[in-house]
Amino acid sequence: MWISEATSNIALIKYMGKEQGNIPCNVSLSYTLSKFTSKVVIENCTKEDSFKNAIRLNLKSVNRFLQHLKNIKTRFNYNGYFCVESSNNFPHSVGIASSSSSFAALTKCAVTAICEIKGINPLSLEEMSQISREGSGASCRSFFFPWSVWDKNGAKSIDLKICKLNHDLVLVDTQPKKISSSEAHELVKSSPLFVGRPSRAQNRFHNLINSLDNDQWNNAREICREEYLDMHALFETSSPGFRYIQPKTTIVLKEIEKFCMENNDGPIVTIDAGPNIHFLWRDDQNELRKKAKKKILEKCSKIEFL
């Protein structure tokens, strides 16, 4: 039996649009979310690869998972079979990058198992990251902590002055989204706003790193706000257009922006391809964090903080 875990990640500069082989159209910067993990357990079996649906994936997602396993076996010329079980400690398909952590965990587990069985030297994190990317693009970022940069050359760790942030997830809705992230990556190419998107992301990437390394927190907050609004504008102007942001999402966003203006401080706010909202706080913002949480729960009681 082999067991591996991997964490989710949240992109502040988003990966949106991809080329063949899950090569990103633009650079991205992500922060690893250590409290949100996926666990994969692999055992040898005799007939065919199988998957225990511990996280209630639909058939399409299960087949995608098993296809990635098959591709890994082909890469190593391995003809045996595995029984696979995967689980998360957080909801899947709601904009918390569950595919990132689950594919990273599967890649770690399968590669480790095959290397051990065949007597192959263990692969580096960078090598496993590249393999994982082929199954789920953003999963390549889940191999690095706490910050990861991903561009056309692959993912890697990056050192920034701020190395520890506290994370809150504002859980607006746990229902699986109707448009998957993979589908969104293709649809956004039809948006008239997609022209110039890589250069906009590149500029924000450099500006964000500069802000984080020079204690310009409010600048960093504004850059991240512009970035997630840019991404969601792509969704809404695609053909056909689609929308992840829900009315409760909008209420929370208005409240946190009002809170930040009143206090001249607040969290970095971002949203992935889903309705749920991520807050990232500095260590010295604990009291502010408590006040913000209380205020938001008073305004919108039918949400949850994770």
pLDDT in tens, the chain (306 residues): 999 999 999 999 999 999 988 999 999 999 999 999 999 999 999 889 988 865 566 777 888 999 999 999 999 999 999 999 998 888 776 667 688 999 999 999 999 999 999 999 999 999 999 999 999 999 999 999 999 999 999 999 999 999 999 999 999 988 888 898 889 999 999 999 999 999 999 999 999 999 999 999 999 999 999 999 999 999 999 999 999 999 999 999 999 999 999 999 999 999 999 999 999 999 999 999 999 999 999 988 789 999
Distance CA 133, CA 107 (A): 9
Q: Tell whether omega for the bond before 146 is within 30 degrees of 0, i.e. cis.
A: yes
C-alpha 246: how far from chain center: 20
What is the CATH T-level fold of the domain 166-305, as seen in this structure?
Alpha-Beta Plaits (3.30.70)
Give the per-residue pLDDT at 25: 95
DSSP letters spanning 77-132 = T---EEEEEEEESS-SSSSS-HHHHHHHHHHHHHHHHHHHHHTPPPPPHHHHHHHH
Asked if 36 and 156 touch (Cβ cutoff 8 Å), the reply is no
Q: b/e map of 148-184 (b: 16 or more CB within 10 Å)?
A: bbbeeeebbeeeeebeebebbbbbbbeebbebbbbeb
Residue 70 makes CB contacts below 8 A (sequence gap 6+) with 49
Give the per-residue pLDDT at 61: 81
SS3 at position 235 = helix
Give the per-residue pLDDT at 70: 97
Distance CA 53, CA 58 (A): 9
- CATH topology match: 2-157 vs 166-305: no
Strand (E) or helix (H) holding 205: helix 197-213
Give the per-residue pLDDT at 62: 85
Q: Which of 263, 108, 95, 111 is nearest to 184 (CA)?
A: 95
Distance CA 31, CA 144 (A): 9
Pick the CATH number of 2-157 from 3.40.1160.10, 3.40.50.11540, 3.90.1150.10, 3.30.230.10: 3.30.230.10
Asked if 205 and 226 touch (Cβ cutoff 8 Å), the reply is no
Give the per-residue pLDDT at 258: 96
Q: Which of 1, 83, 86, 74 is nearest to 45 (CA)?
A: 83
Distance CA 273, CA 82 (A): 32
CA-derived radius of gyration, the chain: 19
Half-sphere exposure of 193 (CA within 13 A, CB side): 18
Distance CA 42, CA 40 (A): 7
Distance CA 125, CA 92 (A): 24
Q: Where are the chain's structural domains?
A: 2-157, 166-305
Give the per-residue pLDDT at 98: 82
Give the per-residue pLDDT at 55: 58
